[in-house]
Amino acid sequence: MKSSVDVTFLFKLIVCLSLSICVRSNEGETSKEWFKIEGKVQAPDAWAKLNPDWKLHTDILIDGGEYRAFLRDDASFSVSVPSGSYVVEVFNPSIYYEPVRVDINSKGKFRARRINHIQPSAVSQITYPLKFKPGMPYRYFQQREQWRVTDLLFSPMVLMMFLPLILIFILPKMMNDPETRKEMENIQMPKYEMPEMSEMLTSLFGGGDAAKKTTKSGGSKQGVVKRK
């Protein structure tokens, strides 16, 4: 009997402690001062006419969805948050909006600035209340390339075919010009004597013996001539 009484007493004690902790946490949250982050979202006029229900598909996310808000009929919004630093994002499935950081101190002063991931220390302040301007539209599919005449003209195969023909037709006309003729005549290209194929083959396959034989035969002939 005593053991069952002790168990029930401990259970009641744990329940009372958990309730007191919950009440204290709620009191702490209610004691904080809450401030409203306000702003307005703009959309392209032509796109807004084609999509009149774009406000229904636009959400305001603060710190990745910890706080959330929706747009009013005039595309404005307001979110109640305690003091701190928050990242405000506008999510729309069709248009990109640049996120903004809003700092709120304990006295209720607001400071809005752009988010710079490359240089976090650099501060670029913007006006408050917030005004979100539309950016580039999202592209979920890659656009198909269109056929153009320039693609055909500048293709490598066409250039290889037509460039020689152009040179063939243009060079003769250039040669008919007397000035170009004179310039070509003045240019003297150096002429190199190329060895004969027979000599090259004998030097490669015969080696040095063939060269010696030729020199000996040449020398004997010269001696015969001298004796005469």
Using CA atoms, how far apart are residues 71 and 60, in angstroms rounded to an integer? 8
pLDDT score of 91: 92
pLDDT score of 145: 79
Could you report the average pLDDT of every consecutive run of 10 residues in the chain (228 residues)? 55 64 52 84 90 91 89 91 91 92 89 83 84 88 81 80 77 68 64 60 62 49 44
pLDDT score of 6: 56
Domains of the chain: 31-132 (2.60.40), 149-180 (no CATH)
Are the C-beta atoms of 130 and 102 separated by less than 8 Å?
yes
pLDDT score of 226: 43
pLDDT score of 117: 75
pLDDT score of 188: 52
Using CA atoms, how far apart are residues 109 and 177, in angstroms rounded to an integer? 83
pLDDT score of 13: 62
* Sheet of strand 67-70, all strands in order from the earlier edge strand to the far edge: 67-70, 59-62, 84-91, 100-104, 110-114, 125-126
Are the C-beta atoms of 111 and 123 separated by less than 8 Å?
no
> How many C-beta atoms lie closer than 10 Å to residue 100's C-beta?
21
pLDDT score of 54: 92
Assigned token pair, 27: 């009191």
pLDDT tens figures, 131-180 = 999 988 888 888 787 888 887 778 888 778 877 777 777 766 666 667 76
pLDDT score of 78: 92
